Structure 1
Amino acid sequence: MAKSSEPKTKRRAPLWARLCAIFGCVLMVVSGGALVTSQVLVSRYAGAVETKDLFGNAANGATKAPVSDIKGPLNILLVGIDPRNDTTAPLSDSIIVVHIPKGLNQAYLFSIPRDLRVEIPPFQKTGFRGGTSKINAAMSYGSSVGNGKHDVAQGFDLLAKTVSKLTGIKKFDAGAIINFNGFKDIVDAMGGVTMTIDQNVKSEHLQPNGKPRPRRPECASNNCEHPYVGPQATYKKGTYHLEGWQALDYVRQRYGLPRSDYDRQRHQQQFIKAMASQALSKNVITNPIKLDSVLRAAGDALIFDGNGHTVVDWGLALKGLRADDMTLVKLPGRSDIQNGRYLGESLESSADDFFKSVDNDSIATFLIEHPEFFQKL
């Protein structure tokens, strides 16, 4: 983990960078400019992205509409998951909503706590009758396709409906499932990422050399609060150049942090911002080999649904966005503890006012009046 003082860049990026960012929040949300990379590479990236019906629209006979129909305001749902096979029910470990106002000149990102207790609506496809649970379980309740198999795309559909019920967002215009290992591969393809660590963090999962920490024998067959032993990878306050495994490990930690998952949400958003500032600083565009590697890694990291539009369509429609146009928002919340037992997280009532500003496309005004919602950079 090398200390760094690398300056931020405000250069404009080509289409490939916009594609990677908007649907993985991985590289950058930036404006157009000249298309430096070749159309062959852009087509290769678009072809590498797996597309699935994430919103259950296939049964409605939805068809592709013109790119000109992509108009603001827009809401995009991004969900991060651990790699799982089709026999394991998926859990959404990271839930991020991106709101883009009518002018398509800004991107507001806010995270939803994975342990937030919410009303999950009924889901006919799996026979789930609905009920109150942690929001990260919604994908699991919606993913079963019979015979012990699970479909992460079908699970996304129920999660999207749950987030809609929570926030009042009537419809998501696009969505993506992001494989956490894909983050690591993209960072490695770029040659690492420079980011500022705002608090000392110890890894629950990895040793200083990046290898997994040994698991305590008594925790092999049951859930322990702290199942690992041995030396821990440590991330100290400061600005560092991180390898892929370090960046991924850092943004996944919550145990031992004062604000637990709220600290982790902030770190994940800071990582997104760091990736947004990094794309051009690593000289990716002028290095065809590295560029191709980054595009392939970004494509492999995503399952995408653009509601009838391809990732290229979306990249063109949002060509006016720049890296500095990303605003990180934090939602106020607290832990629900009853009779000494942790039940999950709850949002403060002021979050409802924020959700109304999303629905009214008035987030900018809301943030001026409620600066406490700005996420710390």
Structure 2
Amino acid sequence: MAKSGKRTPLWARLCAIFGCVLMVVAGGALVAQQVLVSRYAGSIETQNLLGAPAAKADAKAADITGPLNILLVGIDPRSDEQTPLSDSIIVAHIPKDMRQAYLFSVPRDLVVDIPPFEKTGFKGGRSKINAAMGYGSAVGNGKHDVVQGFELLAKTVGQLTGIREFDAGAIINFNGFKAIVEAMGGVTMTIDQNVKSEHLQPNGKPRPRLARCADNSCAHPYYGPQAEYKKGTYHLQAWQALDYVRQRYGLPRGDYDRQRHQQQFIKAMAKQALGKDVVTNPAKLDRVLKAAGKALIFDGGGYSVVDWAFSMKNIRSDDMTLIKLPGSSIIDNGRYRGEELDSSAKDFFASIRQDTVQDFVFRHPEYINNNAG
């Protein structure tokens, strides 16, 4: 999307920033859509994910200044009696000039030190990072709270990266993403490798499960025909897009391939949400905005979602760089134990803290995810 001198429409920044890719924006003022902005902002659930203060009465977008770090966590919908797991963990870094955005995914199976958490009595320990939300979510009587779990996950990601605290955070429900894509009428995206679905049949219905695996004791509990996604550019239905980006089994790089596919999906989704087919169709635009609002639980660090949208007005889609963290599997006596990052990741995290990411990726171009466009 080419840069222009026009201001970014507020509704578009809201949808792209907190419903699609957190901060993909494009030009063109649509003052007439202010009623939709209010409706969208009002539909977002706000919670104290980061222990931040309540919204400030005199807060304004100009007070949100870089550098900034924002934590996005994608979860599968689960009841409050099920332990939540963070299926996707993405950190967005915005440099001091507030004109660029760097997004990187943290592998869900990354083995890390999870800090103690007084609220649940968790003593701390070494485990896969996607378990942190579960360790922090217990509220008693077999119940779980994803908001409380987010707090421990944020502490864990902060300990891994050295980011002392995040400026904003959001929990994104994958069913909510599906609703957005359905409201847009599907999404066009490029599939970069052949993928078979572990979960769905070619007609989109769930694959049957082996009876002996009902307790999730099997790594591959499904059988029967599989939905397939071939290399090329396609217009995918919502269920196809979400199914595609969930897959990791059978892929050469496992979760690293899945991270790339999620980034591809997010970027394609954002571009389409900002396209003419949505912008010039009030009914579709209204559906997309309402679906985006229902997909999120948001903590703006004391600032409203509208303030955050205005603060990102200078970021365009071409200013977003997608980062891939290099890593490898941990194999112990022939058994898979999780993932570990390359030692160079420490230098990348240091560049986040020092706000020198641009210099780092110039020296390490292998960190740029060129296949995520």
Q: Does 1:47 align with 2:42?
A: yes
Task: Say if 2:26 and 2:274, in contact at 8 Å, map to a contact too.
Answer: no
Runs of 4 or more, structure 1, over 6 Å off, are 8-12
Q: Deviation at 1:342?
A: 1.2
User: How many residues are matched?
Assistant: 368
CA contact (8 A) 1:15 1:32 kept: no
What is the Cα deviation at residue 26 of structure 1?
A: 4.3
Go from structure 1 to structure 2 and tell me whether the alpha carbon gap of 1:210 and 1:179 turns closer, same or farther (over 3 Å shift).
Answer: same
RMSD: 1.7
Say which of 20, 23, 46 aligns to 1:25. Answer: 20
Q: Determine helix, strand or coil for the equivalent of 1:246.
A: helix
1:96 aligns with 2:107: no
Look up the match of 1:78.
72
1:165 is matched with: 159
Q: Which residue of 2 aligns with 1:277?
A: 271
Q: Which has the higher mean CA deviation after the structures are superposed, 192-201 or 223-232?
A: 223-232
> Structure 1 residues 27-36 or 89-98, which shifts more?
27-36
Match 1:320 to one of 314, 321, 344: 314
- Residue-by-residue CA offset, 1:24-68 (whole Å, 9 max, x unaligned): 33486114541344221100000000000001235xx77453322
The match for 1:289 among 283, 297, 310 is: 283
Contact 1:36 1:285 in 2 (8 A): no
Look up the match of 2:259.
265
Whether 1:246 and 2:233 are equivalent positions in the alignment is no
* Structure 1 residue matching 2:169: 3-state secondary structure: strand
**Which amino acid in 2 is paired with 1:316?**
F
For residues 350 and 131 of structure 1, the distance between their equivalents in structure 2, rounded to whole angstroms, comes to: 24
Match of 2:52 in 1: 57
Query: Counterpart amino acid of 1:44?
Result: R
The 1:275/1:36 distance shift into structure 2, 3 A limit, reads: farther
Q: Percent identity?
A: 73
* 2:89 maps to amino acid: I
Output one character per residue of 1:186-211: Cα deviation in whole Å (capped at 9) or x when no partner.
01101111111000000000011111
Amino acid in structure 1 at the alignment position of 2:47: K
Look up the SS of the partner of 2:51 in the other structure.
coil
2:206 alignment partner AA: P
| TM-score, normalised via structure 1 length | 0.94
**Cα distance, 1:221 vs structure 2:** 3.1
1:276: Cα distance to partner? 2.4
Q: Provide the secondary structure at the position in 1 that maps to 2:92.
A: strand
- Structure 2: how far apart are the matches of 1:205 and 1:325? 35
- What SS does the aligned partner of 2:215 have? coil
- Report what 1:5 is aligned to: none
Closer, same or farther in 2 for the Cα pair 1:367/1:113, shift >3 Å? same
CA contact (8 A) 1:37 1:285 kept: no
C-alpha change, 1:27 and 1:293, in structure 2 (3 Å) is farther
Unaligned runs of 5+ residues in structure 2 are none
> How big is the shift at 1:10?
6.3
Q: Paired residue for 2:103? A: 109
